[in-house]
Amino acid sequence: MARKKESRPKPMMDAWFENAGITQEETITDTLEKNYLPYAMSVIISRALPEIDGFKPSHRKLLYTMYKMGLLNGTRTKSANVVGQTMRLNPHGDQAIYETMVRLTRANECLLHPYVDSKGNFGKHYSRDMAFAASRYTEVKLAPICETLFADIDKETVDFIPNYDNTMTEPALLPATFPTILVNANMGIAVSMASNICPFNLQELCETCIRLMDDPAHDLLSTLKGPDFPSGGYLLYDEAELRKIYDTGRGSIKLRSKWNFDKAAGCIEITEIPYTTTLEAIKDKITELAKAGKLREVSYARDEIDVNGFRLAIDVKRGTDPDKLMQKLFRMTPLQDTFGCNFNVLIGNTPKVMGIREILEEWLYFREDCVKRRVYFDLTKMRHKLHLLEGLKKILLDIDKAIAIIRATPEEALVVQNLMDGFSIDEIQAEYVAEIKLRHLNREYIMNKLQDVDKLAEEIADMEDILAKPARIRKIIKKELKETAKKYGQPRKTMFYHATEEDIAPPEDDTPDYPVHLFLSKEGYFKKITPQSLRMSGEQKVKEGDYICQTVETTNRTELLFFTDKAEVYKVRASALDDTKASVLGDFIPVKLGFNEDEHVAGMVTTTDYKGMLVFVFANGKAAKVPLSAYETKNRKKLTNAYSDKSPLVAMFYLTDDRDMLVQSSANKALLFSTADIPEKTTRQTQGVNVMNLKNGQTLTSAYLPEEEQLPQLETYRTKNIPAVGKQAKNLEDINQTTLW
């Protein structure tokens, strides 16, 4: 008889391999909800956005660690020590913690009121290349202003939460006595949202807070004049934009560098730059423009930063007007830049974009709660102390009885209970009495303690009154704001600049203006030649098989539009292309302007005012007329869909007035008509109208603008209306030319 095989459960590893490779269908929304949404929420709530106390979690953890290390009043310690201790609260790595510290230091000059007093090289906010030293070399402690951040933090003014491994606690917020959220710049990029808060002057902000408590409708702009940046410079004052920012929390501020002209040295000295840029960014832009010939007045820009502070020197050529040059630099370089405001703050773990009034109101609610909790903490302590003294008062009225009870008690453990029974006091009071030293049982001690009872009762009543009256809470906040402003306030660094007519006026075109001849070959080679150079050598050099297909006399300031066979147009000023000679091939336009692969020049249009029109003729017998103004743009250098690509382009013409046009088909039929018969369309992609009726398989092969003297012999091909079939072409060898121009 065969033995039956026993079935045993498969090992766990075998079961795992059995299901390996099996995929389960899951909707993208479920995947995002399970995997991406928790990450996004973590970034928004726990990393990127500041809360109403003005800090992100990384800032708060670092400063609280330094506070617990005794660095508020103690001496400096190595930054590495602080970084190591902070990792108990912030598990994001030592380098991330140190970079956070760098931004908070006085030496970095990133904050209007730095929180960290530093010693050593911490780099500079205004320099991209000035790297900070390693944490083992630098030293730090908390700046004196941090007293306001941690005032009464040990009196349960804020909630404490466990750290990431539940081994210690940290404050959820810091009980700052002034609105730090608006005093120091704060920028953060979260998922699908960001925050960018500009700094304001401490004295102005404290005064505004006080006024707002007195009058909720207070005009903020009357006391809070405008943002104040640690880098100084000028703020282009725009009252309407400032009011918009104050009301909505969104808007932009234009910042301008501070400069002076050293006539003896022949250079412009930049001493303060916008908060949003760096020294290297300015230098790189000036160098780029100078090389491109757009800043011919500048000979050199050099960094002259030293122990005295920031200084960028720009050497200018003799005869240059420094005021006009600076206007040009403000337009073309980051010497004038924009700060985009986005006051996005976490309120109760919810991101909210708020105006300044709403932010200050939220801060006042937060600060009122801190003051209430502090008063309640002190009140609880005093009530406890009063309770003890009331028990002591009963004992002190009959000390002999108390001593007799204690002496008559056989065991120490029964002393408290006997005192409770003998004087009708509770256990807490009896414990306190039992611990009093024998030396304190004198008349002076007794009288002092009895006086403390009355004093404590008055203080408790006062604190209860404070908690019952919001006006008294706000009075305390006002007092703290005044003290903070007086102690830590400083003069405004960013001054206001009111735009002049010179700032508002459109910039003058200082491009050199002189006559030039432009040449374009069929293969796409371009030359810009001055008349003097052309007179010296009039023979044009071209590649074998190539020829000059277009010649234009114009000026150096004209704009050039290069149309391609892919229905695109590239725009460039003639001044941006180098002067050359007839004896060279010139610039290859597809490479010079960055054409796409397999894209070739179809033709060139020159203009200074975008007047006139373009006529496009297509192989399907249609023609379109588009005003040149349809191609006018401010900054775009490339336009797609320059004309219809439904049918191959046969020819295109730039006209200032309507002309007679001769077209010919593959069936050797010709047609003469006026371009006035083609209606003008403002849409660049228009297919136009039929001008020549074609049979199946036929195409329109050429188009030409005949000269006045050629028209009499072509009248036989003229039609009154279009479209038309045309007539059999005869003797057109000298006239029929396929051309784009």
- Residue 3 is classified by DSSP as P
- Helix, strand, coil shares of the chain, percent, nearest 5, are 35, 20, 40
Which residues are annotated as catalytic? 137
Q: Please count the other Cβ atoms lying within 10 Å of the Cβ belonging to residue 51.
A: 20
Q: What is residue 619's DSSP assignment?
A: T
Could you please report the per-residue DSSP string of 355-422?
A: -HHHHHHHHHHHHHHHHHHHHHHHHHHHHHHHHHHHHHHHHHTTHHHHHHHHHH-SSGGGHHHHHHHH
Q: Are 375 and 474 in contact, with CB atoms under 8 Å apart?
A: no
Residue 471 to residue 535: CA distance in whole angstroms: 90
Q: Which amino acid is at 450?
A: L
Closest CA to 289 of 228, 333, 319: 333
Return phi, psi of residue 143, to 5°: -75, 155
Could you give the strand order of the β-sheet that contains 613-618, starting from the edge strand earlier in sequence?
649-655, 613-618, 622-627, 689-690
| Angle between helical axes of 470-488 and 202-214 (0-180°, round to 10) | 160
SS3 101: helix
DSSP classification of residue 117: E
DSSP letter, residue 309: B
Is the Cβ–Cβ distance between 351 and 414 less than 8 Å? Answer: no
Distance between CA atoms of residues 726 and 703, nearest Å: 13
Q: Residue 227 gets which letter from DSSP?
A: B
| Among 252, 318, 333, CA closest to 285 | 333
Token pair for 724:
């038309």
- What pairing do the DSSP bridges indicate for beta strands 234-236 and 495-497? parallel
CB 561 within 8 A of CB 571: yes
Q: Which helix (H) or strand (E) segment is 331 a member of? A: helix 322-332
CB 456, CB 382: distance < 8 Å: yes
Structural element, H or E, at residue 448? helix 443-468
Answer yes or no: are the C-beta atoms of 563 and 628 closer than 8 Å: no
